[in-house]
Amino acid sequence: MSKIPISELNEGRVCEATFLRNPIESSSFPFRATHLDGRRAPKVVLSRDPQIVAGTPCLVRVVKVTKPQRDDHGMIEVVYERPAPFRVDGIYLDPIVSRKLQVLLESGLNILLDGPQGCGKTVLARAIAQALGMRFIFFNCGAVIEATDFFASIQVRASESGAPVTDFVKTEVLEALEEAQEDPNRRTLIFLDELNRCTESARNALMPALDSTRRVYHPIENRFIAIPGNVQFIAAVNRGREFGGTYGIDAAQLDRFAPLQMTYPPSAAELKILGSRYPEVSRPILEEIVRIANRIRSSPDLGASLSVRATEEVCIYLKHPLMAERPRKMLPEILKSSFCGRFDGTPSDLSTDAGAVWKIIQHELGVSK
C-alpha cells in the first residue's frame, strides 16, 4: 500500500481515519492514527478532539503539519469533521435503512432488526461491529428460559468426594458487561439473536438494561451492575406464521428498541454478493439460482420463505470439484436438496410446500418430471 505524499496533506484536507488511544500517556494528544483514507500517513496523525471515538472510523480535517521536510520527525494534527460514511461490505442493505442505521448507531439507541429468516440480520450485526471496531458478542435467546439465563447458567459437576456441586457460570453477555466496565475505551456490541424465542417473563429481565436505567441484576454476586455507555444492544426477531416456538413482544418491550425492517436482497444485489463470494460459479448459473430463489420467495402459496443461506449453499456445492465439472446437470438435484429441503413435506408430494418448491424449480429449469 502506497504512502500518501506529504505534499497532498494541505491544511483543510478532509480524510477518513480510525484512531486508537495514544499509548504515550504523557502526550497532550489522546488519539493517534497511522493511516488516512486507507493509505499509510507520512507522519503520525494526532488529535485532541473529544468528538473522536477510539476504534470508530470518522472524517477529520488537517489543521497542521509540522516539520514537513523531515521523514523522521513531525506530526499531522487533525480535528474531527463528521462521521465517516457507514459501509458494510459483502451484504445488501437498503440505502434508506443504511442511513437510519448510521443515525441509530451514532445515537447509541438499542436497535431491533425485524425481518424474515435468513435475510442477513446476524451477518449485518457482525459486519457493523467489524466496521466500527467494536467487540461483537453473539447470544442466542432461544436457550433462555428463566430471567437469569441471560447472565448466568447453572452447571452441575462432581466434587472430589463425588457429590454433585452446583456452579453459576457467567454467560457471554455478563462477561462482556464486566469487561466493558474495565475498559471504557473499547466499544462492545451485544447481539441478541431470536429475541422472541424466549418467554416474555424472561425478557422482562432485560428491561432495565434497555431503558434509561441501564443496569442489570448480577445473579452470582446478588447485586445490580451498571451498563457502561460503551455497550450497545442490537436484537433480532423472526416474525410470521412459519415460525414456531416464538412469543409476542409486548409494546413496552418494543418501545425499548428502534425497529428497522429488513428483507431479502433484490436480485441484482444477491447476484453481486454471490458472484464476489463464489467466482468459481459461472454468471449464467448464478442468475438461474437467484431467479429461482426469488420466484420461490414471491410465491403466495408457500408457508415459509427461502433464506439467503440456501442460495449460498447451492454455490458451495457447485464450486466443489465433485460438482464443478457438470454444474448444469447437477443443478436440479442440488436445488432439490438445498431449496426443497427447507420446506415441509417431500418434493414428490405436490400437496406439500416442498413439492410446490420442486414444481417451481422444474418449471424454471425446464426439467421433466
Residue 319's pLDDT is: 94
pLDDT score at 244: 44
**What is the identity of the amino acid at 322?**
L
Q: How many CB atoms lie within 10 A of CB 133?
A: 16
Instruction: Give the cell for residue 176.
Output: 462482556
CA geometry: angle at 276 spanning 271 and 281, to 5°? 75
Does the pTM surpass 0.85? The reply is no
Are 208 and 216 in contact by the 8 Å Cβ rule? The answer is: yes
Which residues in the chain come in under a pLDDT of 50?
241-246
Phi, psi (rounded to 5 degrees) for 271: -65, -40
C-alpha closest to that of 171 among 118, 131, 216: 216
SS (H, E, C) 137-156: EEEEHHHCCCHHHHCEEEEE
Burial 258-281 (b: 16+ CB within 10 A, else e): eebebebbeeeebbbbbbeebeeb
44-94 pLDDT tens trace: 999 999 999 887 788 999 999 999 888 778 999 999 998 887 777 677 888
Other beta carbons within 10 angstroms of residue 177's beta carbon come to 24
pLDDT computed for residue 369 by the predictor: 56
Residue 181 host element (H or E): helix 172-182
What's residue 368's pLDDT?
Answer: 63
